[in-house]
A and B are shown apart, each in its own frame.
Chain A
Amino acid sequence: MSVGTVAVAPARAVSPKQIAIAGLILGALAWVITVPPIGVRGMAPSIVLAVLAVCAGAWSAANGERKLGLEAILIALFAVAGAVASANSGVATLGSVFTWSALVAATLRYATPLLFAALGGLISERSGVINVGLEGQMLMGCFWGIYGADLLHSWVWGLLVGMIAGGALGVVHAFFSIHLRANQIVSGFGINFLALGITGYFLEYHYGPNGTPLNISMVPNVKIPLIQHIGFFGTAFGDANLMTWIGIALVPTLTYFLFRTRGGLRLRSVGEKPRAADTVGVSVVRIRYAAVIASGMFAALGGAYLSVGFVGSFSNDMTNGRGFIGLAAMIFGKWKPWGALWACLLFGLGSALSDRVSGVNQTLGTLFEALPYVLTLVAVAGLVGRSRPPAADGIPYVRE
């Protein structure tokens, strides 16, 4: 973009950016009106809205808001596809898929493990170490959580043992990426393989073909007395797991820690300008170790939620890529705790929808499994603006 065009552009009453955002909203509406509770039948209103969205997108794209404008067009096209799908399904089917209160509850359930992983990844990357091993650390928490809860007859111990196991893999990753200056992405994959082997081995070794026992002590659900019986809220929030609330509470806590405390400042400085941090006497190595280990523990909590909090058993490779979705959520959320939370909720909604769609149409449900990944792809391509990782992310530090 040359300087000339900027100077010539007159001040408008409505900026192209606002038009583009209006286009995004109109595009989304084109689909939203076709599902309950609105449930418009017939394609006409959707098409009108989508055409408006495409016009708004095209206009703003032509007037400088290229990225947002294109996104608006893209959303409108997706929405038309969704509206066609709605128009071709029966009212009863739509009603069973889009039971919003149950959908919200399921979203929270699916988002919880992702949230722990995302926050873990956030701590590590803010200190300048990429942690692709989240998946493996999660898997460790998942198995050792069950093991601890079974052996010591309490879910509290389960969570602790799981955290220790995840932290241990964190130590391995920290040692390779900080001391041995490994390629952090490759060593992360090594961690994942290691976890797959360790958890599978000990599952077979301790529990044999029968799998984990049935009467595991589980993390309880929190029944909120007041809203528990109020229709929508009761179903959506009245009976969520304790871990879900802990995860959500961690978001403001971590935000405060990162941006309002001395420790948080040090952590961020090590991730942005390690040399400067080192110069003023902050130990880069120590902080990075602490961050990576904490990261492993967070991820392990997410894994432990799956086994001790939700399912009550462990099966091989139970995390099934959730660590990677957590990683994606963190990036989607621009390396910020609140952003990560919203991203996790969005991905959770994707999984919850896929679950409900599977109930109606198994084949289609599989395609919905890919939704979180497609969303991330769209997101990194610019829907949420260019996101910037910490400056020293992934670069080993060598003292001069």
Chain B
Amino acid sequence: MSLLEEELKNEAEESTGAAATSPAALTAFRRGASGVTVPILTAVLAFIAGGLIVLATGHNPLSTYQSIFNGTGLNWLFPWVSGAERSTAASNLQQTLIQATPLILVGLAVSYAFRAGLFNIGGQGQYTVGGIAAVWVGSSFAGMPAVLHIVFAIVAAAAAGALWGGIAGVLKAVTGANEVISTIMLNWIAIWLGVYCFQLGGPLHNPHMPSTPVSNNVVAGAKLPVFWGSASLQGLSIGIFISLALAVVYALLIKRTRLGYESRTVGFNPEAARYAGMNVGNTWIRVMLICGAFGGVAAALDILGWEFNLFTNVIQTSQIGFYGIAVALLGRNTASGNVAAGILFGALLTGTSDRNINLSIDPTLVQYLTFMIEGIIILLVSTDVITLRLLKGGRQIGVALRRKPAAQAGANEGRSS
């Protein structure tokens, strides 16, 4: 078996380079090419770019960067920060980690698909249906024991997400439908399904709020225990540990199980996997089921951890599935990478949110600045080349080309500017 893996690896390496076709091959190429330096540098660049946008509105860049950094709450880690500043930092860091909790999981939903050669853009839809299921279970069954209720809600969300992911997997396996298109469509179907459920007069609408399109509230017993900060002021719940535990599960799944091995093989080269006797379609379906479950649990942790209900406009404006793609790319589809990228992205989102960069800018404008910053971050994450070029002092396109024959690399260099 190891011989086969070796051969698959070689084949994948041959087909890598910038023109690599399968996402998994691209992933392998990127992980090999850049290690951890490039993702970190990319994040720093994104941070700088975020500040530049604020700078463009005529504010002091240094104080801007400082306020973004303090907004992330990461200054809590500095021992010399004390007093009121420390408590603000603590609550900011709680926010960062609250954001990171689902981001890690949605990132994993994208990552696992990537490893199997699929591009799961459906994180958004899987998250949305997971949220619908979690809020329904969490707000019903009021008499249940707390632990059981929480587990039930999380499992229900995982099942709903798995169903949503599984549809794309089945369509891909049975009819060859492109998963990029089908998952985008499933995202929108999920959003309208959510709006249908919670709109005024919808089947799951909260009858006590006759003029607000919102779900029922999660009952006290189904809320995740808060262990840091105040439970009434959005403290940090144990959801972050569930998220981290699932990252470990993901690592084991990928590295230690037969399914993980099959997924990676299918991702490298579906044809070779088929020749080796693997059922490619079946693997795709199982991978998408698991991806969907990750996305569903992400929503459950949000709903049970701090949101406690679901507004239709929250469903319609949530962008977490797309952040998840960025997290997966930045995290190089590994478990540890996703955790790091999830926390980093959570920090960026918290640090640049309207709460933290309102440096005398009109507060209504700040939210749009935040969108612009996020756009630039995602653009930067979409490509390694900027960072690679910076690393190489602008003279080479990057380590990537070392893998190619020298002559070829030379030719590429000439074209790259």
A interface list, Cβ under 8 A from B: 67, 172, 176, 179-187, 189-198, 200-201, 204-205, 209, 317, 321, 324, 327-328, 331, 362-363, 366-367, 369-370, 373-374, 376-377, 380-382, 386, 389, 395-400
Among A321, A366, A382, which residue has its beta carbon within 8 angstroms of that of B175?
Answer: A382
| Known contacts A328-B185, A366-B192, A374-B189; is-contact A176 B175 (Cβ 8 Å) | no
Interchain nearest-CB distance for A361 vs B (Å): 9
Check A397 against B19 for contact (C-beta < 8 Å). Answer: yes
Proximity string of chain B (52-63) to chain A, C-beta cutoff 8 Å, 1 when within and 0 when not:
000000000000
1/0 per residue, CB under 8 A from A, across B120-142: the answer is: 01000000000000000000000
Asked if A377 contacts B189 (CB within 8 A), the reply is yes
In the complex, B261 has a CB within 8 A of chain A: no
Task: Find chain A residues with CB under 8 A from B175 CB.
Answer: 67, 380-382
**Binary A-proximity of B278-307 (CB < 8 A = 1, otherwise 0):** 000000000000000000000000000000
| A200 to B, closest residue via Cβ | B368
Residue B192 contacts which of A201, A205, A369, A400 (CB distance < 8 angstroms)? Answer: A369
Q: A324 and B19 in contact (CB under 8 A), knowing A185-B119, A187-B382, A189-B325? A: no
- How many angstroms between the C-alpha atoms of A196 and B17 in the bound complex? 33
Q: Are A201 and B368 in contact (CB under 8 A)?
A: yes
**Nearest-CB distance from A17 to chain B (Å)?**
17
Whether A370 contacts B189 by the Cβ 8 Å rule is yes
Determine whether the beta carbon of A183 is less than 8 Å from that of B196.
Answer: no
Q: How large is the interface on B (under 10, 10 to 19, 20 to 34, 35 or more residues)?
A: 35 or more
User: A191 contacts which of B121, B192, B375 (Cβ < 8 Å)?
Assistant: B375
Contact B326 A186 (CB under 8 A): yes
The interface residues of chain A lying within 8 Å CB-to-CB of B209 are none
Contact yes or no, A362 B188, CB < 8 A: no
Distance between Cα atoms of A389 and B180 in the complex (Å): 12
Contact of A181 among B196, B378, B385, B408 (CB under 8 A): B385
Complex-state Cα separation, A189 to B376, whole angstroms: 10
Given contacts A186-B326, A189-B322, contact A396 B19 (CB under 8 A): yes
CB contacts under 8 Å to A, within B74-127, are 119, 121
- CA A374 to CA B412, docked complex, whole Å: 44
Q: A201-B368, A201-B369 are in contact. Are A190 and B408 (CB under 8 A)?
A: no
Residues of chain A within 8 A (CB-CB) of B201 are 362-363
In Å, the complex CA distance between A370 and B182 comes to: 13
With the chains together, A198 CA to B371 CA distance in Å? 8
Are B369 and A398 in contact (CB-based, < 8 A)? no
Q: Assuming A363-B202, A377-B185, A398-B17, is B378 touching A190 (CB within 8 A)?
A: yes
Asked if B383 is at the interface (CB within 8 A of a chain A CB), the reply is yes
Instruction: Name the distance in Å between B381's Cβ and chain A's nearest Cβ.
Output: 7
Interface residues of B, Cβ cutoff 8 Å to A: 17-19, 21, 26, 119, 121, 167, 171, 174-178, 180-182, 184-186, 188-189, 192-193, 195-196, 199-202, 317, 319, 322, 325-326, 329, 362, 364-365, 367-383, 385-386, 408, 411-412, 415-416
Given contacts A204-B365, A363-B201, A377-B189, contact A196 B196 (CB under 8 A): no
> What residues of B have a CB within 8 angstroms of the CB of A209 in the complex?
364
Q: Which of A186, A198, A317, A377 contacts B381 (CB 8 A)?
A: A186
Q: Are A193 and B374 in contact (CB under 8 A)?
A: yes
CA distance A66 to B393 in the complex (A): 57
Q: How far is the CA of A395 from the CA of B21 in the complex (A)?
A: 7
Judge whether A193 and B326 touch: CB under 8 Å. no
* Beta-carbon contact of A180 and B385 below 8 Å: yes
User: A-B pairs with CB below 8 Å: how many?
Assistant: 168
B379 in complex: contacting residue of A181, A190, A317, A380, CB < 8 Å = A190
Given contacts A193-B374, A209-B364, A386-B176, 5 further A-B contacts (CB under 8 A): A181-B18, A181-B383, A367-B196, A377-B167, A381-B175
State A373–B381 Cα separation when bound (angstroms): 28
Most chain A CB neighbours (cut-off 10 Å) among B119, B176, B371, B379:
B379
CB proximity of A117 to chain B, nearest CB, Å: 14
A195 proximity list for chain B (CB < 8 A): 375
Q: Which residue of A lies closest to B188 (CB)?
A: A373
| 20 interchain pairs, CB-CB under 8 A | A176-B379, A176-B383, A179-B416, A185-B325, A186-B381, A187-B382, A189-B322, A190-B379, A192-B375, A194-B372, A197-B372, A200-B368, A321-B188, A331-B181, A362-B199, A367-B192, A370-B189, A374-B185, A381-B171, A399-B411
A376 in contact with B185 (CB, 8 Å): yes
Of A179, A187, A328, A381, the residue contacting B177 (CB under 8 A) is: A381
Would you call A380 and B21 a contact (CB within 8 A)? no
Knowing A197-B368, A366-B195, the reply to whether A324 touches B184 (Cβ < 8 A) is: yes
Residues of B within 8 A of A367 (CB): 192, 196
What chain A residues lie within 8 Å of B188 (beta carbons)? Answer: 321, 324, 370, 373
Q: In the complex, A377 Cα to B189 Cα: how many Å?
A: 10
Q: Which residues of B contact A191 (CB under 8 A)?
A: 375, 379
B124 to chain A, nearest CB (A): 10
A331 / chain B contacts, CB cutoff of 8 Å: 178, 181
CB distance from A278 to the nearest CB of B (A): 10
B411 touches which one: A179, A197, A400 (CB < 8 A)?
A: A400
Q: A172-B379, A176-B379, A377-B186 are in contact. Are A200 and B326 (CB under 8 A)?
A: no
A369 to B188 Cα, complex, angstroms: 9
- Cβ of B18 to closest chain A Cβ, rounded Å: 5
**Which of A186, A376, A382, A389 has the most chain B CB atoms closer than 10 A to its own CB?**
A186
CA distance A369 to B376 in the complex (A): 31
Q: How far is the CA of A190 from the CA of B382 in the complex (A)?
A: 8
* A376 near B181: Cβ-Cβ < 8 Å: yes
- A204 and B383 contacting across the interface, CB-CB below 8 Å: no
Bound-state Cα–Cα, A398 to B167, Å: 36
Q: For residue A200, which residues in chain B have a CB less than 8 angstroms away from its CB?
A: 367-368, 371
Contact partners of A373 in chain B: CB under 8 A: 185-186, 188-189, 192
Q: Which residues of B have CB within 8 Å of A193?
A: 319, 322, 371-372, 374-375, 378
Q: From residue B193, how far is it (CB to closest CB) to chain A in Å?
A: 7
Decide if B177 touches A382 in the complex (CB within 8 Å). yes
- Chain A residues within an 8 Å CB radius of B195: 366, 369
Which residues of A sit under 8 angstroms from B412, Cβ to Cβ? 398-399
Q: Is there an interface contact between B325 and A328, defined as CB atoms closer than 8 Å?
A: no
Report the Cα distance A324→B124, complex, angstroms.
Answer: 14
Cβ-defined contact, A196 with B181, below 8 A: no
Compute how far the CA of A192 lies from the CA of B174 in the bound complex, rounded to whole angstroms: 32
- Chain B residues near A386 (CB-CB < 8 A): 176
List A contacts of B383 (CB < 8 A): 176, 180-183, 187
